[in-house]
Amino acid sequence: MLVDFRSDTATRPSAAMYAAMQSATLGDDCKHEDPSVTQLEQEVADLLGKETGLFFPSGTQSNCTALLTHCRSGDELITGETYHVYRYEGGGASAFGGISFRPLPLEPDGGLNPQAITAAVRPDEDTSPISRLLTLENTTDGKPVSLDGMGAMAQAARSAGLAVHLDGARILNAALALNTTPDQIASHADSVSMCLSKGLGAPVGTVLTGERDFIRLASRWRRKLGGGMRQAGLLAACGKVALQESKTNLPRDHQRTAHFGKALAELAANAGQGRLSISVTPTNMIFVETSRQDLDSLCAKAKEQNMLLSDKMPLRIVLHRDLTDAHTETLLSVFAEHYGV
């Protein structure tokens, strides 16, 4: 099998997940009658300090549902210009809900400037759309945004009467890196979406969490978007195992990222001025800046070792549960050979 460094979505189900699927109690989740799904929804809600949750086939559909539930047609939301909801979700909230986006540039920590949020809120007049929602992301590009930062952004939104949605696809990575608990981060948002299919390692699944009334309305939007699934407990069973296994997997991914990042940084220092520069996040991602030519050659050499690297610039390397120390050592030797160090 190919060793995939492109994303933490590349993981395969663990043995425990296959076993959990086999023994899961199932029902019709369109009627909210699948106990495996209901249990997972509550487990994630409890973890994030919210009343209840709703299971989705993807993070994109979960985010889209949250935006559609918070906003009405013609409303505007404020978000980051490189955040997933704006950049990678096909403009779903605009297409299906008539919602417009007001994207702001990111601060170096991955958050938004609270004063810029305040300034982006539209005046209350007939000529303006209604500013309804602030949508944040944590982690973003592998960076955890601090609790203080989250608090300041949420405060700017709340004092202008906006609700706050958090795209917490990797919120457990954020909590670990910030040495805090997920509910502390989630406390700054009204609704939080968390992926089970990233570093947690489930094949499919995201849970949207919030207050009970919000989730009831979200469930209607999920149906409209085609996200109502029948015996979804098969997937939820994997999600529950993923949550459990993440307690050991995520800390190990972060440690391995730090270790591998350090080795790459030493290699960069020896490779000579400006040939490559390494930026290591405190979670599971490393960014490598190098020339187009060098990257193409690295991708080709990695492929010879059955390893997949992203061909986008800058190179993003993502560690996850299916990668081992032996894999990072092999990749390090690919870099060492290419740069001749």
Ligand X SMILES: *Cc1c(COP(=O)(O)O)cnc(C)c1O
CB of 221 to ligand X, least distance (A): 16
Q: Is the CB of 225 or the CB of 268 nearer to ligand X?
A: 225
Q: Is the CB of 14 or the CB of 65 nearer to ligand X?
A: 65
Q: Nearest to ligand X by Cβ — which residue?
A: 59
CA atoms of 218 and 68, how far apart (whole Å) = 8
Contacts of 65 (CB under 8 A, 6+ apart): 54, 56, 208, 218, 221, 222, 225, 227
Q: Is the CB of 250 or the CB of 334 nearer to ligand X?
A: 250
CB of 291 to ligand X, least distance (A): 27
CB of 182 to ligand X, least distance (A): 15
- CB 39 within 8 Å of CB 205: no
Nearest-Å Rg of the Cα atoms of the chain is: 21
Contacts of 119 (CB under 8 A, 6+ apart): none
Query: What spatial distance separates the first Cα and last Cα of the chain, rounded to whole Å?
Result: 29
Helix or strand (DSSP H, E) at 256: helix 233-271
Q: Is the CB of 199 or the CB of 261 nearer to ligand X?
A: 199
Binding residues vs ligand X (CB under 6 A) = 58-60, 63, 84, 137, 167, 169, 195, 197-198, 206
For 34, the token pair is 């699948």
Q: Is the CB of 37 or the CB of 195 nearer to ligand X?
A: 195
CB of 140 to ligand X, least distance (A): 7
**How far from the centroid of its chain's Cα atoms is residue 304's Cα?**
30
CB of 110 to ligand X, least distance (A): 11
- CB 210 within 8 Å of CB 50: yes
Q: Is the CB of 79 or the CB of 290 nearer to ligand X?
A: 79
CB of 285 to ligand X, least distance (A): 10
